[in-house]
Every structure is written in structure tokens, then in C-alpha cells.
């Protein structure tokens, strides 16, 4: 498991912990009727007449698990131990995909006369009747959740990529420096040999007249 995969698992754990500590809650009407989504409350301080929305919490946990599994697989080691996909590119692509899913399957409110602004469920945006209305508060929360995760993962994963780029640049510079030093050393040695040959020839020529 490489460092990027550990970051993904750590981020998934933080998301799951946040959802469990601040679960979505439904409000129960004293007049009866089906519970309707109210807000996210601390699990240790849920107000009266509120219950945890098990279905909505289940959907959120499934979304976190699916994103973590996909990112973990795509960031597995490829050639030379590097991730198969660039982490920054993966974060942007998955964020775009999540936002597309959020807007294709937005939360809808109950129809007029059934409830005033109460959450009904997720439906396909391109289907159904024209009388449906989007439950805007929950849609805002979904978009904010996706954007916060995208920013956090992009910063965490790209920091490692930047460090690797710096390390690779330093290694390249050190290699080029060593290669330059070797060339200079080889040139100096070659020049010394040439000078020695010239000095030997000159000494031989100077010695011949006296023989």
C-alpha cells in the first residue's frame, strides 16, 4: 500500500466518522405522518422529536465507501511503484463524476399538499413529472460535501506529487552534475596525456642532434 492509498483510507475514515458523529435526522410530527428530513445533528445531542434517518445515512456511507474503493484501486502501484493515475487528475475527475451524479439524481421534496418542503427521496432528474420540486437544502449540503472532500484530497495528494517532482528534479540535477564532472575529469586526463606525448616528442627531437 503506497502513501496515496493510505491518504484515501484516512480520508474515508474521517468522512465515516463525521457522518456517524453528525448523522442526518428526521423530524417526527406530533400530528402523525411520515418522518421528514430535518438536519444533521451531533449524535450525542439529538433534539427531541428527532430520529436518525437510517436510509439517508446508509446512502451517504455507501457513497463514501464507493469513492474510497475506486480511488484506492486507481492509485495502486504501477510501473516503478508510482500510482496508475496521477492523483491530482483523479481527484478532479472523481469530483466531476460525483457532482454529475448529484445533479442527475437530486433530492426531491414532497408534492404540494403532501408536505411543506419535506424531503421525499432521490429521483432521476430527466424523468418523472413536471410537478416535482428539488429539495434545495439537502442539494446544497451534497455539493458542499463533494467540494470540501475534493479540496482536501487534492491538497493532500498533490503535496506528495510535488515532493516527488522536486526529488526527481534534484536527482536529475545531481546526475547531470556528476556527468559534467566526469566529462571534465576525462577531458583533463586526455589533455594531460596529449601534453605528455608532446613533451616526449619534443624531448626526443632535442636529443637527436647530440647523438
Interval 189-199: pLDDT, tens: 777 777 776 76
The edge-to-edge listing of strands for the beta sheet with 36-40 is: 36-40, 24-27, 50-52
Answer yes or no: do 161 and 181 share one domain: no
| pLDDT at 159 > cutoff 70 | no
Q: How many structural domains is the chain composed of?
A: 2
Within this chain, do residues 39 and 105 fall inside the same structural domain, yes or no? yes
* Sign of the CA dihedral running 166, 171, 174, 177: negative
Same domain, 68 and 157: yes
Question: What global pTM score does this model have?
Answer: 0.69
pLDDT tens, residue by residue, 18-40: 999 999 998 887 766 677 788 88
Cell of 133: 420540486
Residue 114 has pLDDT above 50, yes or no: no
More confident residue, 5 or 129: 5
76, pLDDT greater than 50 = yes
Amino acid at each position: 500500500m503506497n502513501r496515496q492509498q493510505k491518504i484515501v483510507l484516512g480520508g474515508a475514515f474521517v468522512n465515516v466518522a463525521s457522518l456517524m458523529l453528525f448523522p442526518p435526522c428526521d423530524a417526527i410530527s406530533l400530528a402523525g405522518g411520515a418522518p421528514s428530513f430535518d438536519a444533521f445533528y451531533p449524535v450525542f445531542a439529538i433534539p427531541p422529536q428527532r430520529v436518525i434517518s437510517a436510509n439517508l445515512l446508509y446512502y451517504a456511507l455507501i457513497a463514501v465507501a464507493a469513492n474510497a474503493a475506486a480511488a484506492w484501486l486507481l492509485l495502486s502501484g504501477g510501473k516503478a511503484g508510482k500510482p496508475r493515475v496521477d492523483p491530482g487528475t483523479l481527484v478532479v475527475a472523481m469530483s466531476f463524476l460525483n457532482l454529475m451524479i448529484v445533479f442527475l439524481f437530486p433530492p426531491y421534496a414532497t408534492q404540494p399538499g403532501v408536505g411543506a418542503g419535506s424531503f421525499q427521496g432521490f429521483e432521476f432528474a430527466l424523468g418523472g413529472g413536471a410537478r416535482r420540486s428539488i429539495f434545495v437544502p439537502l442539494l446544497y449540503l451534497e455539493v458542499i460535501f463533494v467540494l470540501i472532500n475534493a479540496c482536501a484530497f487534492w491538497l493532500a495528494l498533490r503535496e506528495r506529487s510535488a515532493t516527488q517532482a522536486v526529488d526527481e528534479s534534484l536527482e536529475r540535477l545531481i546526475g547531470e552534475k556528476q556527468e559534467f564532472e566526469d566529462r571534465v575529469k576525462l577531458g583533463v586526463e586526455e589533455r594531460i596525456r596529449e601534453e605528455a606525448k608532446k613533451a616526449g616528442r619534443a624531448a626526443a627531437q632535442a636529443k637527436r642532434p647530440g647523438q
